[in-house]
């Protein structure tokens, strides 16, 4: 069975789903193909092991989509301040108050965000949800692309968006090169109850054995991300619960007293990935399909939301100018790519640079990085620049975030 549509989005993770929603006012018919069935909600007492630090710009984007309002406020924690410690007593402190914002970020459960996005998509007109569905082949012609899906179905679309994550099928099928560069590290994540209140402060330690982050959760709880060399990550995962709690508490200088595990640890291998291009004939890549950055700055999904917003804006402006605009027109896709180039480069440069600088055992590297942190801490202008980058979180414009983003350029 072959169906025609205007836009096919492959991958209904947070980024692909947000694009489908951002295009809801468009004149185009869309389909969204997702390989995995939608996750059932967890028991209310359980905490998702995957937590995201959502930047103020991403929050504004999600508010514009009506998604933030669907989240349970009681399960979201603001980050009011951030304390970064180097491996030679260097310090770097940021605060929402000094930066003139309500919060530096909000910590949100991945599953809650995904469910809110999918619940909104279920009622979207002119959108066909294909789930579970996996593309098997992609054939391009001048006017459209044919995508054969599992189960013998086929979709012919004028634009195919690859939102299918780091191992993107769309990217490979479209012939866009991308080499993952492994960091030789895994991100070990777990949630803990803590003895002392965290006062909405996130902490990060650049240590010999990796980068350890504690992110505040509602109540006296924290979420941990320890980006650790592979052998150390495996050792952490193999520890009995009490030993893991003791190890994590000690690594953070017992800043929050004793810790008690509330969510079993999980690990994610870390790699940097850069697609040679964000576009090819009638194809655009967004999110991790286009770029994967080190999680030490907590910006991967924020960068992906920025892609979704930028692509929706470009397509929305075209639709407003001409109702019969071709969403796969090369000019539009080039415009999308140009809009994103600087944000992606800046984020990759910062996260990859920091990850390598702090993993380096080269003589002098330790002194340079610690001096650098102390210097930044004493330079308010540079510090504000770093904060504004983190607040924008790879979204097109900080001004858009501050005034409350209007979901896309589409007329409603």
Ligand X SMILES: Cc1cc2nc3c(=O)[nH]c(=O)nc-3n(C[C@H](O)[C@H](O)[C@H](O)COP(=O)(O)OP(=O)(O)OC[C@H]3O[C@@H](n4cnc5c(N)ncnc54)[C@H](O)[C@@H]3O)c2cc1C
Stretch that binds ligand X, among 4-12, 20-28, 75-83, 350-358 (CB under 6 A): 4-12
Contact 25, 412 (CB under 8 A): yes
E-state strands within 276-329? 279-280, 283-285, 291-292
Question: Nearest-CA neighbor of 166 among 266, 269, 267, 265?
Answer: 269
Given 7, 11, 116, 259, the residue binding ligand X (CB under 6 A)? 11
- Which of 169, 192, 205, 206 touches ligand X (CB under 6 A)? 169
**Closest to ligand X by CB, 225 or 335:** 225
Residue 265 makes CB contacts below 8 A (sequence gap 6+) with 49, 188, 189, 190, 236, 237, 244
- Nearer to ligand X by Cβ, of 11 and 216: the residue is 11
DSSP codes, 326-371: -TT-HHHHHHHHHHHHHHHHHHHHHHHHHHHHHH--STTHHHHHHH
Q: Which of 106, 115, 87, 94 is nearest to 358 (CA)?
A: 87
Binding ligand X by CB under 6 A: which of 299, 350, 370, 408? 299
Could you say whether residue 183 binds ligand X (CB under 6 A)? Answer: no
The answer to whether residue 328 forms part of the interface with ligand X (CB under 6 A) is no
Question: If residue 114 lies in a helix (H) or strand (E), which one and from where to where?
Answer: helix 110-121
Question: Can you tell me the distance from the alpha carbon of 120 to that of 110, in angstroms, rounded to the nearest whole number?
Answer: 16
- 35 is a site residue for ligand X (CB under 6 A): yes
Considering only 7, 8, 9, 10, the residue that binds ligand X (CB under 6 A) is: 10
CB 253 within 8 A of CB 264: no
- Minimum distance from residue 251 beta carbon to ligand X (Å): 16
Give least dist CB 307 to ligand X, A. Answer: 8
Compute the least distance from the CB of residue 242 to ligand X, in Å: 23
By CB under 6 A, is residue 34 in contact with ligand X? yes
Q: Does 111 bind ligand X (CB under 6 A)?
A: no
**Selected binder of ligand X within 189, 248, 262, 395 (CB under 6 A):** 189
Q: Candidates 20-28, 88-96, 159-167, 328-336: pick the segment binding ligand X (CB under 6 A).
A: 159-167
The reply to whether 387 sits near ligand X by the rule CB under 6 A is no
Radius of gyration, alpha carbons of the chain = 21
Three-state DSSP at 80 gives coil
Q: Which of 7, 225, 275, 310 binds ligand X (CB under 6 A)?
A: 225
User: Using the rule CB under 6 A, which residue among 56, 64, 86, 304 binds ligand X?
Assistant: 304
Give me the least distance between CB of 89 and ligand X, in Å please.
26
CA distance 99 to 377: 13
Prior bond of 132 cis (ω within 30°): yes
209 binds ligand X (CB under 6 A): no
- Examine residue 134 and tell whether it contacts ligand X (CB under 6 A): yes
Contacts (CB under 6 A) with ligand X, residues 230-289: 268, 287-288
What are the tokens at 175? 């012939």
The DSSP letter of residue 404 is -
Of 13, 64, 216, 265, which one interacts with ligand X (CB under 6 A)? 13
Binding site for ligand X (CB under 6 A): 10-16, 33-36, 52-53, 134-135, 163-165, 169, 187, 189, 225, 268, 287-288, 295, 298-302, 304
């Amino acid at each position: 069975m072959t169906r025609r549509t205007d836009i096919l989005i492959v991958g209904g993770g947070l980024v692909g789903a947000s694009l489908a929603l951002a295009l809801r006012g468009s004149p185009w018919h869309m389909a969204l193909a997702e390989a995995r069935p939608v996750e059932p909600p967890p028991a209310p007492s359980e905490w998702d092991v995957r937590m995201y630090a959502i930047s103020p710009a991403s929050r504004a984007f999600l508010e514009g989509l009506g998604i933030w309002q669907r989240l349970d406020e009681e399960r979201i924690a603001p980050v009011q301040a951030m304390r970064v410690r180097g491996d030679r007593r260097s310090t770097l402190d940021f605060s929402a108050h000094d930066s003139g914002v309500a919060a530096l970020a909000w910590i949100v459960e991945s599953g809650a965000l995904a469910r809110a996005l999918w619940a909104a998509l279920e009622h979207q007109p002119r959108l066909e949800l294909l789930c579970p569905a996996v593309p098997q082949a992609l054939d391009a012609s001048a006017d459209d692309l044919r995508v054969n899906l599992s189960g013998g179905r086929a979709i012919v679309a004028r634009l195919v968006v690859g939102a299918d994550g780091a191992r993107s099928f769309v990217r490979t099928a479209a012939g866009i090169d991308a080499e993952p560069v492994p960091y030789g590290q895994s991100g070990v994540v777990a949630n803990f109850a803590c003895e002392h209140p965290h006062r909405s402060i996130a902490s990060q330690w650049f240590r010999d054995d990796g980068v350890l982050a504690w992110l505040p959760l509602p109540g006296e709880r924290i979420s941990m991300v320890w980006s650790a060399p592979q052998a150390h990550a495996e050792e952490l995962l193999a520890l009995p619960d009490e030993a893991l709690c003791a190890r994590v508490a000690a690594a953070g200088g017992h800043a929050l007293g004793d810790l008690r595990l509330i969510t079993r640890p999980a690990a994610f291998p870390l790699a940097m990935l850069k697609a040679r291009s964000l576009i090819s004939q009638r194809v655009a890549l967004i999110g991790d399909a286009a770029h994967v950055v080190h999680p030490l700055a907590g910006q991967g999904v924020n960068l992906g939301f920025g892609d979704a917003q930028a692509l929706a804006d470009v397509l929305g402006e075209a639709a407003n100018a001409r109702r019969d605009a071709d969403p796969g027109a090369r000019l539009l896709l080039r415009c999308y790519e140009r809009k994103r180039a600087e944000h992606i480069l800046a984020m990759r440069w910062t996260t990859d640079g920091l990850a390598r600088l702090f993993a380096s055992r080269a003589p002098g590297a330790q002194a340079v990085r610690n001096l650098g942190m102390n210097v930044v801490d004493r330079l308010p202008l540079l510090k504000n620049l770093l904060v504004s980058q983190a607040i924008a979180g790879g979204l097109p414009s900080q001004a858009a975030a501050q005034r409350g983003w209007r979901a896309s350029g589409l007329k409603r």
